Structure 1
């Protein structure tokens, strides 16, 4: 999951509800100071939320873009039903199309981070007229790497037999083993991460996890998209194999960005550079 470094809202950013033909969604919306050059819809990843894009919203709005980050169905502050069919990739793709329509700015630029990229490419395939471009951020057309498949399978199995709070404690313990000694999250970040986890629907985590583990190769479908395509990731990406991402960019002819020094979440670690790369791509569109 992405871990925001701060929960402070950037200038000209406010939380609100986005009312769509498929329900109400919690969003963070950042607006530019002057003329708007375009609108961007940002979809978060697995176990994530709209707050994953907090550091990116400011640079995007400073560059003249209206940027809207959304909690997907069943994520954090967006409610969701208990039935599994509500979280299929097709259902979530239709949500993204409805969100784009509700923004009221015609075709929008679509950015999907990690699992959000799976939803975003399905949305662009389902309704290409709704989007000016598609950016897959740290997200591939195939399956996640083997280590991540093992991790997600373990998470889904644990959620089936343990309370969410017990699973949370186990996740935090595992994460702490991979961090540098002495690294401690600020209390407000720890509180937020726990709150987000507890508010996210178990069924959303289960179905989304299955899609990550058993996702089908989709490079050929990406190559047939009619919207401009951008594949972006950090050179330290560890969820999708970097070689697979580079190969997908070559095979689809996508605009290709590799952010030096970034891992799975350039939106958190390198927001200024990522915003520059995104806006340069959008200007080409």
Structure 2
């Protein structure tokens, strides 16, 4: 999971519920601090939330981009149900299209869509349903198909635990397995976030991560600029696999030095700069 260094948004952003045709979604919304250059919609990964992008909000806002990070259906502060059928990839992709429509941009095709990890695969599915709301797509640490085998095993263990234990019990079991150096970085805020996720959402999206087919050829056929961004190390999708995906897509490619699976929290300034550079190149 991404571990944001703070759950407090910067002064440039405010938290609110984004009202859409598919329900309300909790967002952090940072308006542009200079002349408006575009709108960015940021989708978090598995077990994540809108707070994973807190460190990106200020630099992107300062560069002139309205930046909106969102809790998906059943994530943290966005309501969900206990029915796994409500969290199919198609349903989550339709949510993204509704979110883009609700941002009230000046014209169609003006939203820069960014998805981290699971969020990248949901973003890809949204683009494949309807690319017209989007100016670009950035896949951040998000690969061409299912996660690596070791990660598939972790997801299965988590899903099995969620089927029989409470969220609090699962949290304590996960903390016991963490390396000692992580014990001081989690904080109560991460626990509160975990407890507000819907187990059905985690089980359904975990299944997606473990079974996602390769849809790179489908995405390559869409006339939309794509950016593949990652850290220099990644144990969820190997970095050479991300390099190859970028080649197949004809995509812009960025590796963030010193970052791993979450460049948004590992190296936020460099990640924001890479996003802005890509958007301005368009």
Do they superpose with TM above 0.5?
yes
Distance 1:26 1:236 in 2: 31
Matched, 1:170 2:173: yes
Q: Which runs of 4+ in 1 moved over 4 A?
A: none
Selected match of 1:197 from 194, 197, 216 = 194
The answer to whether the 8 Å contact 2:147/2:209 transfers is yes
* 1:55-66 equivalences in 2 (<5 Å): 55-66=55-66
Of 134, 139, 151 in structure 1, the residue corresponding to residue 137 of structure 2 is 134
| Among 260, 265, 269, the residue aligned to 1:268 | 265
Given the alignment, which residue of 207, 210, 222 partners 1:213? 210
**CA RMSD of the aligned region, Å?**
1.2
Which sections of structure 2, spanning at least 5 residues, go unmatched? none
1: CA distance between counterparts of 2:59 and 2:150?
33
State how many pairs are aligned. Answer: 279
Query: TM-score, normalising length from structure 1?
Result: 0.95
Partner of 2:22: 22
Q: Give the superposition deviation at 1:82.
A: 2.1
Matching residue within 239, 243, 247 for 1:246: 243
Superposed CA offset, 1:155-206 (max 9, x none): 00111111211111111111235x37xx612xxx521111111111010000
| Equivalence for 1:231 | 228
How far apart are the structure 1 equivalents of 2:78 and 2:121? 19
Specify every segment of 5 or more residues in structure 1 that has no aligned partner in the other structure, as ranges: none
Matches within 5 A, 1:90-101: 90-101=90-101
Cα distance in 1 for partners of 2:39, 2:199 equals: 31
After TM superposition, the score normalised by the length of structure 2 is 0.96
- Mapped to 2, the partners of 1:85 and 1:57 lie a distance apart of 32
Counterpart-to-counterpart distance in 2, 1:221 and 1:82: 32
